[in-house]
Structure 1
């Protein structure tokens, strides 16, 4: 059974959000982590994943939610650049205190 287009897009979004992207130099972390394949990209500065993992020990505030939205936008930007999507709409909602 062939994979439906929606399934492929959903899978691409999940991989983009939950693969650890290497931290940038100005990120406040001692361990940059990230996917080893980004060390030798076939396209210059092409990187996979998101930096959402950097928020795992951050206090949940409106600023944290905004940072999460920025990380999500960065992780999904390739979809519009590569023509997979015309646009990507992101909505971040804080629910509860966890």
Structure 2
């Protein structure tokens, strides 16, 4: 899987604060919720609930896709999990808009495109070329 993060169309290094924030948001395992297909293994960020001053719900539930087959429901959940993971950008007023697009790549691939309009008016984009391969270890 390839991840391309850009700010106003210019590629960002993986070490850039925005690229790191996106990576943490999307690839830290958020705790499963009641009703998620987690088979009793709720996962979650190790510091979740440790300190009331820390934000709740760090990361995404994209890891849950590893237990699924690629169908319309998984595609919808990938969208919802991604959107949920990026909600903090809006809540903290770092961004004025967050858009998520999920695209099927044939029978065995799923791409995600994220577009975040920052408060400054600049646009942060992230293209995840095949999240399905990452979650399924392909």
CA offset at residue 57 of structure 1?
Answer: 2.4
Gaps of 5+ in 2: 1-6, 109-138
CA deviation digits over 1:3-54, x for unaligned, max 9? Answer: xx86322221111000000101221222001111112243476220000001
- Which of the two has greater helix per residue? 1
> Please, what TM-score do these two structures have when normalized by structure 2?
0.62
Q: Does 2:30 align with 1:26?
A: no
Gaps of 5+ in 1: none
Aligned residue for 1:38, secondary structure, equals coil
> Please, what TM-score do these two structures have when normalized by structure 1?
0.85
Aligned residue for 1:90, secondary structure, equals strand
How many residues align? The count is: 94
Give matches, 1:43-58, under 5 Å: 43=53, 46-58=56-68
CA offset at residue 95 of structure 1?
Answer: 0.3
The CA distance in 2 between the partners of 1:41 and 1:71, in whole Å, is 24
- With over 3 angstroms needed to count, the CA separation of the structure-2 counterparts of 1:41 and 1:62, relative to structure 1, is farther
Aligned residue for 2:70, secondary structure, equals coil
- Which of the two has greater strand per residue? 2
Aligned Cα RMSD in Å?
A: 1.8
CA contact (8 A) 1:49 1:75 kept: yes
